[in-house]
Structure 1
Amino acid sequence: MQSLAGMLVLGAGAGFQPGDILYQLFIFLILLALLRKFAWGPFIDVMKEREDHIANEIDTAEKNRTDAERMSKEAQEDLKKTRQEAHQIIEEARKTAKTQEQDIIAAARVESDRMKDAARQEIETEKDKAIQALQDQVATLSVQIASKVIEKELSDQDQQQLINDYMKELGEER
């Protein structure tokens, strides 16, 4: 190669010869073939690998994006279903609470009516007892008055006084 380089330098000083041009063209073509085989081929292969790698990365990213969108839609649908279920549960709870409220009110009314009836019966019983006691007292007083009248004969004024006295006693006993 030193001789080749020397010839190139020598040829530059003497002018161009047709043989030199052919020789330089031949050397240039050999250099191109060598570059193509040892430099350009591996460079193209590296670039092709790089292109394939980038294409794979883009495909993977696109697939991941598609999966993420699908998962996002599924999550939104699940969230929507969950909200609907929660709303249904709340509505059912409201209906159940309203039904229970009505049942409690009805039971309270029934119990209130039962207590009123029991109180009325008790009042009637106590009223009957009081009437019976009063009748017993009147009978007793009548007997007492009759026995006292029999014991002594009274004038109309004494008889009125005796009735008034017994009425006062009756009022005090109550």
Structure 2
Amino acid sequence: MARGQERAAPDAVPTRIGQVVMLHHAGDREEARQRYLGLWTELGEHGDPLHRCTLAHYLADTQDDPADELAWDLRALSAAEELREDGSPGHRGARAARALYPALHLNLAADYDRLGHREAARLHLRRARRAADALGDDDHTAGVRAAIGRLERRLDGPR
């Protein structure tokens, strides 16, 4: 393979992630996981934080073990934190991170709940709620808010 082809071209990464998302949603979870992992290897630990955040966020959903899912969701949050630390308020990454925080914290809350760590789940659920409240009223945010409400009810219910 030619040297320039070894790594994903930055503009192609979101398209490639989207293609794997469609594969995953079509039901081929194992193939999606392998393709996501291939992209992760191409990006490397110092790749674009927005790409790493997005990829880790989706990769978490392909894991069989809840602890592995948590590890990928934590990687996604860590990459989002890098975007937030960028410092320039108009930077695409900072805006994207702000939009991703509700879902990232919601996923972490669900992970911790599945692992039996209810206090950690509640902490991330509170963070998800605060992050969602800072966003507008679009369909995605409404869906995240509804999922936050469902998880809140489950955490508050009997175990």
TM-score, normalization by structure 1: 0.18
Larger RCO: Structure 1 or Structure 2 (Cα < 8 Å, ≥ 6 residues apart)? 2
More helix by share: 1
TM-score, normalization by structure 2: 0.19
